Amino acid sequence: MRVTNLSRRPVDFEQADAINQAIRLLSLRHRARAAALLAPLGLHTGQEALLLELDRSGPMIQAQLSGALGCEPPSVTLMTRKLEASGHIRRSPAPTDKRASVVELTDSGRALAKEVKQLWRELAEETVAGLPQRTVAELPGLLTTLTGNVDNRRR
Protein backbone atom coordinates (compact mmCIF):
# COMPACT_ATOMS: atom_id res chain seq x y z
CA MET A 1 0.00 0.00 0.00
CA ARG A 2 1.43 3.36 -1.02
CA VAL A 3 0.68 6.28 1.25
CA THR A 4 1.12 9.84 0.04
CA ASN A 5 0.46 13.14 1.71
CA LEU A 6 -1.93 15.08 -0.52
CA SER A 7 -0.78 18.44 0.87
CA ARG A 8 2.59 18.20 -0.92
CA ARG A 9 4.08 16.73 -4.05
CA PRO A 10 5.32 13.15 -3.94
CA VAL A 11 9.02 12.72 -3.24
CA ASP A 12 11.07 11.90 -6.34
CA PHE A 13 13.62 9.08 -6.27
CA GLU A 14 16.67 11.31 -5.81
CA GLN A 15 15.14 13.03 -2.79
CA ALA A 16 13.86 9.71 -1.41
CA ASP A 17 17.30 8.18 -1.81
CA ALA A 18 18.96 11.13 -0.09
CA ILE A 19 16.50 10.99 2.84
CA ASN A 20 16.72 7.22 3.27
CA GLN A 21 20.52 7.14 2.96
CA ALA A 22 20.93 9.97 5.47
CA ILE A 23 18.68 8.23 8.00
CA ARG A 24 20.43 4.89 7.46
CA LEU A 25 23.91 6.38 7.85
CA LEU A 26 22.94 8.44 10.88
CA SER A 27 21.47 5.35 12.53
CA LEU A 28 24.55 3.23 11.85
CA ARG A 29 27.05 5.87 12.92
CA HIS A 30 25.08 6.95 15.99
CA ARG A 31 24.83 3.33 17.14
CA ALA A 32 28.55 2.77 16.55
CA ARG A 33 29.45 5.95 18.46
CA ALA A 34 27.10 4.97 21.30
CA ALA A 35 28.73 1.53 21.44
CA ALA A 36 32.18 3.12 21.65
CA LEU A 37 31.08 5.38 24.51
CA LEU A 38 29.32 2.58 26.40
CA ALA A 39 32.07 -0.03 26.09
CA PRO A 40 34.30 1.44 28.83
CA LEU A 41 31.30 1.13 31.18
CA GLY A 42 30.94 -2.55 30.29
CA LEU A 43 27.65 -1.94 28.48
CA HIS A 44 26.39 -2.98 25.07
CA THR A 45 23.96 -0.87 23.05
CA GLY A 46 20.43 -1.40 24.28
CA GLN A 47 21.46 -1.98 27.87
CA GLU A 48 21.77 1.76 28.45
CA ALA A 49 18.17 2.26 27.34
CA LEU A 50 17.05 -0.38 29.84
CA LEU A 51 18.98 1.29 32.66
CA LEU A 52 17.66 4.74 31.75
CA GLU A 53 14.06 3.46 31.54
CA LEU A 54 14.28 1.91 35.00
CA ASP A 55 15.90 5.09 36.32
CA ARG A 56 13.07 7.17 34.79
CA SER A 57 10.11 4.91 35.61
CA GLY A 58 11.17 2.81 38.58
CA PRO A 59 10.72 -0.96 39.00
CA MET A 60 8.58 -2.68 36.40
CA ILE A 61 7.63 -6.09 35.08
CA GLN A 62 9.84 -7.34 32.24
CA ALA A 63 6.88 -7.33 29.82
CA GLN A 64 6.27 -3.64 30.60
CA LEU A 65 9.96 -2.96 30.15
CA SER A 66 9.87 -4.65 26.76
CA GLY A 67 6.98 -2.41 25.69
CA ALA A 68 8.64 0.73 27.03
CA LEU A 69 11.86 -0.07 25.16
CA GLY A 70 10.09 -1.12 21.97
CA CYS A 71 11.96 -4.41 21.75
CA GLU A 72 11.09 -8.07 21.88
CA PRO A 73 10.75 -9.85 25.25
CA PRO A 74 13.66 -12.26 24.54
CA SER A 75 15.97 -9.27 24.01
CA VAL A 76 14.91 -7.79 27.35
CA THR A 77 15.39 -11.17 29.04
CA LEU A 78 18.95 -11.39 27.71
CA MET A 79 19.77 -7.81 28.72
CA THR A 80 18.31 -8.26 32.20
CA ARG A 81 20.27 -11.47 32.74
CA LYS A 82 23.53 -9.75 31.82
CA LEU A 83 22.80 -6.64 33.89
CA GLU A 84 21.75 -8.78 36.84
CA ALA A 85 24.96 -10.84 36.60
CA SER A 86 26.96 -7.60 36.72
CA GLY A 87 25.00 -6.41 39.76
CA HIS A 88 23.27 -3.43 38.14
CA ILE A 89 19.71 -4.69 38.36
CA ARG A 90 17.74 -7.07 40.53
CA ARG A 91 14.90 -9.31 39.38
CA SER A 92 12.28 -10.72 41.71
CA PRO A 93 8.98 -12.53 41.23
CA ALA A 94 6.02 -10.21 40.72
CA PRO A 95 3.72 -10.28 43.75
CA THR A 96 0.61 -10.88 41.64
CA ASP A 97 2.09 -13.24 39.03
CA LYS A 98 4.92 -15.58 40.02
CA ARG A 99 5.69 -16.19 36.31
CA ALA A 100 6.53 -12.50 35.81
CA SER A 101 9.68 -10.78 37.05
CA VAL A 102 9.90 -7.29 38.49
CA VAL A 103 13.12 -5.56 37.41
CA GLU A 104 14.68 -2.76 39.43
CA LEU A 105 17.98 -0.92 39.62
CA THR A 106 20.46 -1.66 42.37
CA ASP A 107 22.63 1.07 43.87
CA SER A 108 25.27 0.10 41.33
CA GLY A 109 22.70 0.41 38.53
CA ARG A 110 21.62 3.86 39.70
CA ALA A 111 25.25 5.00 39.72
CA LEU A 112 25.77 3.53 36.25
CA ALA A 113 22.59 5.21 34.97
CA LYS A 114 24.03 8.53 36.15
CA GLU A 115 27.19 7.88 34.10
CA VAL A 116 25.10 6.88 31.08
CA LYS A 117 23.16 10.14 31.34
CA GLN A 118 26.42 12.08 31.08
CA LEU A 119 27.52 10.03 28.05
CA TRP A 120 24.10 10.58 26.48
CA ARG A 121 24.47 14.33 26.86
CA GLU A 122 27.92 14.15 25.24
CA LEU A 123 26.61 12.02 22.37
CA ALA A 124 23.70 14.38 21.78
CA GLU A 125 26.02 17.40 21.78
CA GLU A 126 28.32 15.69 19.26
CA THR A 127 25.37 14.72 17.10
CA VAL A 128 23.82 18.18 16.88
CA ALA A 129 27.08 20.16 16.72
CA GLY A 130 26.83 22.97 14.19
CA LEU A 131 23.02 23.03 14.11
CA PRO A 132 21.13 26.19 15.05
CA GLN A 133 19.55 26.06 18.54
CA ARG A 134 16.07 26.31 17.02
CA THR A 135 16.71 23.21 14.90
CA VAL A 136 18.06 21.35 17.95
CA ALA A 137 14.91 22.29 19.88
CA GLU A 138 12.68 21.01 17.03
CA LEU A 139 14.67 17.83 16.42
CA PRO A 140 13.04 15.53 19.03
CA GLY A 141 9.58 16.33 17.66
CA LEU A 142 10.68 15.82 14.07
CA LEU A 143 12.33 12.50 14.85
CA THR A 144 9.31 11.35 16.86
CA THR A 145 7.08 12.17 13.89
CA LEU A 146 9.36 10.21 11.54
CA THR A 147 9.33 7.24 13.91
CA GLY A 148 5.55 7.40 14.18
CA ASN A 149 5.23 7.57 10.40
CA VAL A 150 7.28 4.41 9.98
CA ASP A 151 5.49 2.61 12.85
CA ASN A 152 2.07 3.53 11.47
CA ARG A 153 2.94 2.09 8.06
CA ARG A 154 3.90 -1.29 9.56
CA ARG A 155 0.50 -1.92 11.15
**Counting Cβ atoms within 10 Å, is residue 86 exposed (0-12), middle (13-18) or buried (19+)?**
middle
Q: Report, as ranges of residue numbers, the positions in the chain whose pLDDT lies below 70.
A: 1-7, 153-155
pLDDT tens string 118-143: 999 999 999 999 999 999 999 999 99
Q: 13-144 sits in which CATH class?
A: mainly alpha
Predicted local confidence at residue 97, as pLDDT: 86
Predicted local confidence at residue 99, as pLDDT: 86
